[in-house]
Amino acid sequence: MLWDIIIEATNSSFKTVTQIAIIVFPIMMVLRIARETQVLTKVSNYFEPLTKRIYLSKEATFPLIVGIVFGLTYGAGVLVQAAKEGHLTTRDMLLINVFLGLNHAVFEDTFIFGAIGANSWVLFMTRTLLAVAVTYIVGRWLVSREKGHTSLSESS
Amino acid sequence: MDLRRVIKLGIKDGVETTWELAKVIVPVFFVITFFKHTPVIGWMVTMFEPITLLLGLPGEATMPIVIANALTVYPAIPAITSFSFTTKEITIIGTMILLCHSLPVETMIARKSGANGLFILIVRVLAAILAGIILNLFMGG
């Protein structure tokens, strides 16, 4: 029995690691080129009209796009940097974290799950749409609360 | 842009990521394959199937979902490929896992980058459950 387990586990390990490696190498290459060419600073301009609609400021777009493409750790680094420079509001910080919590490192994750048998397209769309919807709802709630507070303080 | 340097870095990233994956995938495969030869998986299925069926998933789905949330996404992969899930099931498990995973580490990252960690955590758990229900209802296959 022990021998069976060893053979079975070795086979499946080898199969799965190869399957994923085939996907991971090209993705890492593309992501590295994207990072070196700093193409995202340009790309993020195009997304400003969209991020505005989910209650994010113009300055919040770049850290958001970086997190979506490169992942949470790298995205958080850019986020903390932008916050230090003082461009981001408290609302931006919370909303970026809501969005990125749900949706980060999308290319890597989507393709890896595609490699092990998921429908990547359904997975990617569901995750992205949910992140947009939830960020919109939370953003709207925050804005209405901010308005509520100012009108209260004005009346008093 | 120095193309040769970029290609070198890209290969390095690929090797590192594959190594990180292999490091967690291989031991998890051994542990799960061992448990598959014991009655433990059967107990897990009986215990959690009433819950997972609400998301259109067999009881075995408990394993990748728990592993992804407590640890990270990578060790959940062998917990998926060890069982014979259908495309629809893998898509549901994958979407739920990607919405909500590595909770101890990522909640800490959220907190460090200026958000309420508990709030982000609750949003993620609810979004994952919602995604499971929606996909189960509307995805064909």
Report the candidate in B14, B4, B78, B129 with the shortest Cα–Cα distance to residue A108: B14
pLDDT in tens, A100-143: 999 999 999 999 999 999 999 999 999 999 999 999 999 999 99
Residue A76 pLDDT level (bands cut at 50, 70, 90) = confident
Percent of chain A with pLDDT over 90: 76
- Which site among A113, A121, A125, A142 would you substitute to test the B interface, given the most B Cβ atoms closer than 10 Å to its Cβ? A113
Are A5 and B30 spatial neighbours (Cβ–Cβ below 8 Å)?
Answer: yes
Average pLDDT of chain A to the nearest whole number: 91
pLDDT in tens, B29-86: 999 999 999 999 999 999 999 999 999 999 999 999 999 999 999 999 999 999 999 9
pLDDT at res. A60: 93
pLDDT at res. A152: 54
List chain B residues with CB under 8 Å of A126.
Answer: 95, 131, 134-135
- Which site among B2, B15, B29, B57 would you substitute to test the A interface, given the most A Cβ atoms closer than 10 Å to its Cβ? B29
- Provide the token pair at B28: 């998890």
Q: How many CB pairs under 8 A join A and B?
A: 171
In the Cβ-directed half-sphere of A15, how many Cα atoms lie within 13 Å?
12
List chain B residues with CB under 8 Å of A118.
Answer: 87, 90-91, 93-95
> What average pLDDT score do residues B84-103 get?
97
ipTM for the complex shown: 0.91
The residues near B95 (Cβ < 8 Å, ≥ 6 apart) are: A118, A122, A123, A126, A127, B128, B131, B132, B135
Q: Is the pLDDT of residue A153 over 60?
A: no
pLDDT at res. A156: 38
How far apart are the CA of A32 and the nearest CA of chain B, in angstroms? 5
pLDDT at res. A155: 45
Residue B85 backbone phi and psi in degrees, to 5: -80, 155
For residue A62, give the H/E element and its range: helix A61-70
pTM: 0.91
- Provide the token pair at A149: 């507070």
Residue A83 pLDDT level (bands cut at 50, 70, 90) = confident
Q: Is the pLDDT of residue B22 over 90?
A: yes
Residue A9 pLDDT level (bands cut at 50, 70, 90) = very high
Please state the domain extents for chain B. Answer: 3-138
Contact A32 B110 (CB under 8 A): no
pLDDT at res. A80: 86
Percent of chain B with pLDDT over 70: 99
Report the candidate in B112, B116, B109 with the shortest Cα–Cα distance to residue A84: B112
